[in-house]
Structure 1
């Protein structure tokens, strides 16, 4: 029966069937279920990082009155540390065979550029929607937009550089 899930179906195959997103076809992930599963793990780690990022951003900006971009830089950096740890342990466990300092340096460089993109998108969207969207939803919506943009940068560059050679 079409659309029926069988107990024999593997998790990656089920995910491919359920998540027929344009990105899956664009990057050939449909033909590479293990890579799709790895991307989903990366996105899960990123979701945890997003909770860390947004929590710290709101605490620093609202509770302590730090400038939005200063608070964003601190919150983003904290989330990056969390993401590096979980990606090394769970998303790319094979990468633990490599020296941690070199890999951390690569990850940090990618994320410094990611921070620049994040701050740029955050500030641009925030400036665009301020006055139309009430505080604190304005900067949180801008931050979520920035996170979405940076997700694809971070995965793409980290996959081909920081975690290259991992099947």
Structure 2
């Protein structure tokens, strides 16, 4: 029972580390996204949603580097083409979620002041982030397959070592019974 608890604790700790790393990269990506959005919005005549899409694309590129080389650096690296394709596919879905919320607020409800745009951009990023976390860890940056459990082999006899006391050979009876 304690092995199961220890295993569960280890998995929870590992998930917590993964969430923290994902959050660190995502937080930096959030800053990149909002900074590019506001710079483009104030320095150009691009409409709000187009400025947001441009900022999201820049943040996606930034985040890929952070996720691949920091958050998921220990994950399978053998299928980079597959990984990049899935990353772009799920990132595009996140882009639609994020900017769909901004689009609805701006053109559906007429909420388009700079403060309102930033609030709905931030809300869209938050909702899209939940989708991205799930999809990236499930489909894009997959865990390495577990190595098969091979019991240690006794060097002199070439047989697996016993794992429990019940697997030990019977001791000879000193009295000869």
In the superposition, the TM-score normalised over structure 1's length comes to 0.74
- CA displacement 1:22-75 (0-9 Å, x = unmatched): xxxxxx999611111101111111111111111111111121121111111111
Map 1:1-167 onto structure 2 (within 5 A). 32-95=12-75, 97-126=77-106, 127-128=108-109, 130=111, 135-166=113-144
The gaps in structure 2 that reach 5 residues or longer are: 1-7, 147-177
Residue 99 (structure 1) shift:
3.4
CA RMSD of aligned residues (A): 2.3
CA contact (8 A) 1:29 1:36 kept: no
More helix by proportion, 1 or 2? Answer: 1
Residue 165 (structure 1) shift:
2.5
Q: How many residues are aligned here? A: 137
The gaps in structure 1 that reach 5 residues or longer are: 1-27
Supply the distance in 2 between the matched residues of 1:60 and 1:142 (Cα, whole angstroms).
Answer: 17
The SS at the match of 1:32 is helix
CA contact (8 A) 2:76 2:141 kept: no
- CA displacement 1:124-161 (0-9 Å, x = unmatched): 23454727xxx311100111101110110000011110
Q: Residues 47 and 29 of structure 1: is their aligned pair in 2 closer, same or farther, counting only changes over 3 Å?
A: farther
Supply the distance in 2 between the matched residues of 1:103 and 1:50 (Cα, whole angstroms).
Answer: 22
Supply the distance in 2 between the matched residues of 1:38 and 1:130 (Cα, whole angstroms).
Answer: 36
- Say which is worse superposed, 93-102 or 66-75, in terms of deviation: 93-102
In the superposition, the TM-score normalised over structure 2's length comes to 0.70
- Please tell me whether Structure 1 or Structure 2 has the larger radius of gyration of its CA atoms: 2
- CA displacement 1:77-114 (0-9 Å, x = unmatched): 11000100010001000236323332111100001111
